[in-house]
């Protein structure tokens, strides 16, 4: 049972451009680029966007982890390709695969380069209640912990001779009970420990906590934000022009149906 896909969403402590950006800059960039991915309707534009993002990730040194995550989803990509080619056409299948891969890469970069406390602080800046912001950052923090615990339990059960993939469909579902039950019990136990720790520290006594390292927007944050807004705006404008007057970019193409 491979957990490589979860590793692509773990925080990675490095000194890259993305690590030094304000989480509000990364959040807005993630939102705008996600909108752009869904607005682009041709393979050429999505391939150009994927190529540009791949070069940026390669230069900043985070391409390896993203590529490992994409490789772990190879079976899912093949499934999407087969089903959509059979039900619709090859062009639609490739569009879906490209959109999914780009979105996964963008979210992976955000989570790999953003600390949970920075995420909580940025949510507070957006006027999100502190209890909700803390709960989200806490869930974000425990994702890799849950992934490691799942893999450890699976390996422990397999070392005792348990097989997860034998039998029919119903039998395979039953085979996962020895994995799910310890995982649920461990999660409940951890939740009680966290609740006790919060209560002993008087959690909730203040609604606006103070941080040792408050967030500050720097010049590079404004530059990155301006570039992302410009690229997204240009993509939307080109897409409107293509739909209204049929004008296309040189690299715009779709496969024949």
105 and 4 both lie in a single domain: yes
Among 84-98, 186-200, 203-217, the least confident range: 203-217
83 vs 141: which has the higher pLDDT: 83
Half-sphere exposure of 33 (CA within 13 A, CB side): 27
110 and 15 both lie in a single domain: yes
62 and 153 both lie in a single domain: no
44 and 110 both lie in a single domain: yes
pLDDT at 226 over 90: yes
Confidence band of 6 (pLDDT split at 50, 70, 90)? low
Query: What is the DSSP code (8-state) at residue 74?
Result: H
- Domain that includes residue 201, residue range: 128-205
**Residue 138 falls within a domain, yes or no?**
yes
Encoding tokens for residue 217? 């927007």
Rg (CA), the chain: 22
The pLDDT value given to residue 4: 60
169 and 94 both lie in a single domain: no
Encoding tokens for residue 1? 């049972």
**Separation between Cα atoms, residue 85 and residue 147, nearest integer Å:** 33
101 vs 255: which has the higher pLDDT: 101
2 vs 107: which has the higher pLDDT: 107
Residue whose entry in the numeric block shows the structure tokens 């395979």: 172
The pLDDT value given to residue 178: 84
pLDDT at 1 over 50: no
Q: Using one digit for the tens of pLDDT, what is the confidence trace for 27-38?
A: 899 999 999 998
Encoding tokens for residue 79? 């499934």
Phi, psi of 61 (to 5 degrees): 85, 20
Q: Using one digit for the tens of pLDDT, what is the confidence trace for 22-73?
A: 888 998 999 999 999 988 888 888 888 889 888 888 888 888 878 888 887 8
pLDDT at 97 over 50: yes
The pLDDT value given to residue 253: 67
**Separation between Cα atoms, residue 82 and residue 244, nearest integer Å:** 33
83 and 148 both lie in a single domain: no
Nearest 5°: CA angle at 204, between 190 and 142?
A: 30
167 vs 192: which has the higher pLDDT: 192
Cα 162 to the chain's mean position, in Å?
Answer: 32
14 and 79 both lie in a single domain: yes
Cβ within 8 Å of residue 73, ≥6 positions away: 5, 101, 104
89 and 161 both lie in a single domain: no
Phi, psi of 149 (to 5 degrees): -65, -40
Among 3-12, 57-66, 152-161, the least confident range: 3-12
Report, as an integer, the average pLDDT of 93-109. 90
pLDDT at 18 over 70: yes
Query: What is the DSSP code (8-state) at residue 201?
Result: T
Query: What is the DSSP code (8-state) at residue 97?
Result: H
Task: Work out the mean pLDDT of the chain and round it to a whole number.
Answer: 82
Confirm if 211 and 117 have CB atoms less than 8 A apart. Answer: yes
185 and 147 both lie in a single domain: yes
Encoding tokens for residue 185? 């019990």
Q: How many domains does the chain have?
A: 2
Encoding tokens for residue 32? 């705008």
Q: How far is CA 7 from CA 22, 66, 68, in A?
A: 22, 9, 9
pLDDT at 243 over 80: no
96 and 141 both lie in a single domain: no
Number of Cβ within 10 Å of residue 98's Cβ equals: 19
Q: Which of 115, 147, 145, 116 is nearest to 133 (CA)?
A: 116
pLDDT at 233 over 70: yes
pLDDT at 108 over 90: no
Confirm if 191 and 142 have CB atoms less than 8 A apart. Answer: no
pLDDT at 3 over 70: no
pLDDT at 2 over 70: no
Q: How far is CA 95 from CA 136, 213, 217, in A?
A: 31, 42, 35
pLDDT at 127 over 50: yes
């Amino acid at each position: 049972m491979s957990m490589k896909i979860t590793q692509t969403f773990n925080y990675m402590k490095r000194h890259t451009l993305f690590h030094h950006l304000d989480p509000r800059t990364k959040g807005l960039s993630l939102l705008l680029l996600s909108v752009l991915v869904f607005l682009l309707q041709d393979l050429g534009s999505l391939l150009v966007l994927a190529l540009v993002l791949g070069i940026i990730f390669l230069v900043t040194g985070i391409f390896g982890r993203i590529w490992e995550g994409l490789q772990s989803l190879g079976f899912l990509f093949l499934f999407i390709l087969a089903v959509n080619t059979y039900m619709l056409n090859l062009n639609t299948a490739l569009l879906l695969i490209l959109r999914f891969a780009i979105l996964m890469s963008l979210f992976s970069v955000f989570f790999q380069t953003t600390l949970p406390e920075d995420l909580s602080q940025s949510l507070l800046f957006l006027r999100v209640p502190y209890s909700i912001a803390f709960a989200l950052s806490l869930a974000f923090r425990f994702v890799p912990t849950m992934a490691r615990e799942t893999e450890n339990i699976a390996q422990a059960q397999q070392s005792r001779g348990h097989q997860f993939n034998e039998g029919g469909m119903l039998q395979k579902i039953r085979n996962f009970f020895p994995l799910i039950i310890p995982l649920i019990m461990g999660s409940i136990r951890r939740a009680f420990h966290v609740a006790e720790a919060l209560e002993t520290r008087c959690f909730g006594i203040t609604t606006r906590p103070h941080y040792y390292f408050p967030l500050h927007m720097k010049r590079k944050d404004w530059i990155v934000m301006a570039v992302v807004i410009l690229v997204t705006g240009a993509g939307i404008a080109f897409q409107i022009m293509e739909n209204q007057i049929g004008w296309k970019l040189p690299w715009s193409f779709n496969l024949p149906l």
